[in-house]
Structure 1
């Protein structure tokens, strides 16, 4: 198995959550790492956390909005110059919209596509020439989701964008193999990253926040974020085509592939259990829901997810 040790790495969406942990895994492998994100203050905190673990390697933060291809071009070219090339790029930037599709509105779908699909596309297109020149053989990791392998009620903007990301990753894998670049599609299920503090809510915001935060922190259904990051980086090292994380995500993706109509009918029942539109704010968890999601709340503190 190849390793990522001592390589040049770029991680978009690297200032918090899963992206921060992916960057940390690379720093611990003695890579020179650049993390990119939109929020400069959040980015500075992330770089500080990563530099504590760096041993003789560089950690750099670059402000970048991945929806802007010109900005991504500048990010990639600057990183390649500073780090004497690019060996590994992880397209991770994303956002999550939670609520009924009608309440979310078309702008939520547009935002999801701009950030997750076009953000991944811009990152890939700008990086591929450098990855083809990598002496180590370039690696591109594209972070999708189980939500891109089967549609999830009240997460439809996210699911639609991640579905496009899945097609992009698989298509690029086929096209880039002859150039010596491996493309790994990563489809996590629920993870305890503290992402519930960053979601964009619509409808009955309190109840929407409650169900998402609870499930994302539920042991057995959600996955420890550090373990997820370790598995993702190992998949990049092994140049795997696709990795799906959590047993529930495996089961859901396989079920939808074999019996899509049955899964869709099941989703009808799930949708009936989810909140009706209202506007109640972020507070909405019952006492037991708060207890269940405590693991995710602690993850939010560790992974730079809490709002200022």
Structure 2
């Protein structure tokens, strides 16, 4: 890779995506920072300006659920910079609730953004990444390893994302493209605030799960007291982006590493359920 490396980052209006865009620019990358709604770019522009990297960040619209939008954004990168060295698939949405509450359509819409969106961007980017021996990174979650109560749709999407990329990784490597997933644990960002549906509405409509839902929120509040910042999580993304030999799977905190280790050694599923079950009591 040359000093003129270019990275496309999706979902940069806030949180890990915003922090990744800024940190990548600070590290010397040309950054194409994309977001679905360019009317929500104020925080990104302010952060870019504060970091003094406005000359290395291009803000572009990209809706990962729209193939034409994806194709246009990737073409814009090639037209502007002549190459695409890396992609960070970060765009995602949260979805709380069990299937009886939120329904099957909620699962479809969550997978559309968190999984199929990443697939669409990956497909469009791979020819260009292959041309330069580039990097493909996805911001996953511990929810891509550990099924978490009342996060069925979100975890299903992240499990699918990790299965897709774990399968792709060895294939892409034969053509010089390195694939990695980054797994944050709890992160203090606007992502939680934008969860759908709202927490009060979920509890109100929890039916037989009301007691479990209240216990879940009480338990996970403790986990979020240990939350890392978006900048800390983004630092792990930048490490993978710049590593000479990037690993496939990276956790962004000690808490995430500890929980991931439980799952990856849990052959019968009992160890994970011993961790998550008490969240509901």
Query: What is the TM-score of this pair, normalised by structure 1?
Result: 0.79
User: Against the structure 1 CA distance between its residues 7 and 258, is the aligned structure 2 distance closer, same or farther, given a 3 Å change threshold?
Assistant: same
- Preserved contact between residue 43 and residue 63 of structure 1 (Cα < 8 Å): no
Partner of 1:168: 164
Partner of 1:237: 242
Higher helix share: 2
Partner of 1:191: 187
1:219-230 to 2 correspondence within 5 Å? 219=226, 222-230=227-235
114, 139, 155: which is aligned to 1:159? 155
1:63-82 to 2 correspondence within 5 Å? 63-82=61-80
Query: What is the TM-score of this pair, normalised by structure 2?
Result: 0.86
- Preserved contact between residue 9 and residue 89 of structure 2 (Cα < 8 Å): yes
How many residue pairs match? The answer is 267
Displacement of 1:143: 1.3
111, 114, 131: which is aligned to 2:112? 114
For the pair 1:16 / 2:14, whether they are aligned, the reply is yes
- Preserved contact between residue 182 and residue 236 of structure 2 (Cα < 8 Å): no
- Preserved contact between residue 7 and residue 29 of structure 2 (Cα < 8 Å): yes
| More divergent stretch after superposition (149-158 vs 191-200) | 191-200
What secondary structure is seen at the aligned counterpart in 2 of 1:151? Answer: coil
Q: Distance in 1 between matches of 2:189 and 2:178?
A: 27
Displacement of 1:115: 0.2
Partner of 1:57: 55
Partner of 1:287: none
| More divergent stretch after superposition (227-236 vs 37-46) | 37-46
User: Against the structure 1 CA distance between its residues 59 and 212, is the aligned structure 2 distance closer, same or farther, given a 3 Å change threshold?
Assistant: farther
Displacement of 1:20: 0.3
Structure 2: state its 5+ residue gaps. 205-212
User: Against the structure 1 CA distance between its residues 67 and 215, is the aligned structure 2 distance closer, same or farther, given a 3 Å change threshold?
Assistant: farther
Structure 1: state its 5+ residue gaps. 274-308
Displacement of 1:270: 3.4
